[in-house]
């Protein structure tokens, strides 16, 4: 990893040949830097990451990125917590970031920017017997992983409908693309996924939207960008550049919606109609809504028995508000 302590490294070698002194000077451009970025494969929430690459924003900032795709946010946090971690920063869900931070002291990250709000949905069989959450009792519902954003949305839907979260009926660990196939084949009754896998499940009228996540909680936080704290401490200049690129890409999406939709269609293999519906379900952001994040913590602790404010893996005595102050740092994105 390039050092950020100076703009250039001057290396001088002196070679004595037949009485002649030769001085060789190597000038290393310290504006070129490597950063390993994780992201979720096929996640339209993270369109800004694709746009940034397509528009050459990383190169313009002198950043050489290495990208690593993950199946879900839990896998991202597992990588962050590994002693030989493969990533420095990542795009992924706020829910798995929270869950793993509460439960694994090695998951030492800081959330630095928003990526999107809303954007998930519960897709169920397109049959008349499933009309609302109360009809989900006993049905087999798939989620990408336990304790990720979509699992949390499902918990909220069930809780609001007076239906118990029965782990025997929840199918975790299924890739969203496989959920679409499983629904079509009848091995599951529904699934909660991120776009564009929600709209894909409605093809040929096999599935239908029962709830969009915004129906459950309007403008809820979803994906974020986080950095491992070792990387944040050692290379803050690179972190700032990555966030600058993300802000630029997000602004470009909002100002060039049709062109962004074309990129989404290409990268996600979508028709124009599918991309239009899926993108309308997503709010692209970069700022952090700390009040909503605080509410997120309160809801997650209430609904998930695996999370406690008394966890030994976070500082003692925190409440939802002071936890967000400790875990989320909006100063980097606000400074741009």
Cβ 59 vs Cβ 249: under 8 Å: no
How far apart, in Å, are the Cα atoms of 83 and each of 101, 106, 108, 184, 230? 16, 8, 11, 40, 12
Burial class (CB in 10 A: 0-12, 13-18, 19+), 4: middle
Residues 65-75: tens digit of each pLDDT? 999 999 999 99
pLDDT in the model for residue 33: 55
Q: Which CATH architecture has domain 120-216?
A: 3-Layer(aba) Sandwich (3.40)
Extract the tokens encoding 186: 């009848």
Cβ 46 vs Cβ 39: under 8 Å: yes
Q: Where in the chain is the domain with CATH 3.40.190.10?
A: 34-115+221-334, 120-216
Enter the pTM of the model. Answer: 0.89
CA atoms within 13 A on the CB side of 125: 17
Q: Which fold has domain 34-115+221-334?
A: D-Maltodextrin-Binding Protein; domain 2 (3.40.190)
Question: How far apart, in whole angstroms, are the C-alpha atoms of residue 70 and residue 172?
Answer: 15
Question: How far apart, in whole angstroms, are the C-alpha atoms of residue 252 and residue 10?
Answer: 38
184-195 as b/e: b if 16+ CB within 10 A: beeebbbbbbbb
Three-state SS at 40: strand
Task: Tell me the residue length of the chain.
Answer: 336
Residues 91-126: tens digit of each pLDDT? 999 999 999 999 999 999 999 999 999 999 999 999
Band the pLDDT of 244: cuts 50, 70, 90. Answer: very high
Burial class (CB in 10 A: 0-12, 13-18, 19+), 241: buried
pLDDT in the model for residue 101: 96
């Amino acid at each position: 990893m390039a050092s950020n302590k100076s703009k250039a490294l001057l290396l001088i070698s002196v070679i004595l040949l037949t009485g002649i002194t030769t001085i060789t000077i190597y000038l290393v451009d310290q504006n070129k830097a490597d950063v390993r970025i994780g992201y979720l494969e096929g996640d339209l929430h993270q369109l800004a990451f694709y746009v940034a690459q397509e528009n050459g924003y990383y190169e313009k900032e002198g950043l050489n990125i290495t990208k690593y795709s993950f199946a879900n946010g839990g896998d991202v946090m597992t990588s962050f917590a590994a002693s030989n971690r493969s990533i420095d920063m990542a795009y992924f869900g706020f829910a798995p970031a929270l869950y793993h931070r509460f439960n694994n002291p090695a998951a030492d990250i800081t959330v630095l920017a928003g990526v999107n709000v809303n954007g998930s949905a519960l897709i169920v069989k397109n049959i008349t017997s499933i009309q609302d959450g109360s009809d989900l009792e006993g049905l087999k519902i798939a989620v990408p992983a336990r304790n990720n954003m979509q699992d949390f949305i499902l918990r909220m839907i069930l809780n609001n409908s007076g239906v118990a979260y029965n782990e025997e009926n929840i199918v975790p660990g299924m890739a969203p693309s496989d959920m679409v196939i499983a629904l079509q084949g009848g091995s599951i009754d529904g699934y909660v996924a991120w776009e564009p896998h929600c709209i894909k499940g409605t093809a040929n009228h096999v599935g239908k939207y029962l709830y969009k996540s915004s129906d459950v909680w309007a403008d809820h936080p979803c994906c974020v960008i986080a950095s491992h704290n070792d990387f944040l401490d050692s290379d803050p200049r690179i972190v700032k550049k990555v966030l600058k690129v993300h802000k630029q890409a997000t602004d470009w999406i909002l100002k060039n919606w049709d062109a962004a939709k074309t990129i989404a269609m290409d990268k996600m293999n979508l028709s124009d109609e599918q991309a239009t519906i899926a993108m309308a379900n997503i709010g692209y952001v970069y700022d952090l809504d700390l009040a909503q994040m605080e509410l997120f913590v309160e809801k997650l602790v209430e609904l998930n028995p695996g999370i406690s404010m008394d966890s030994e893996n976070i500082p003692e005595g925190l409440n939802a508000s002071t936890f967000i102050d400790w875990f989320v740092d909006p100063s980097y994105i606000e400074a741009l």
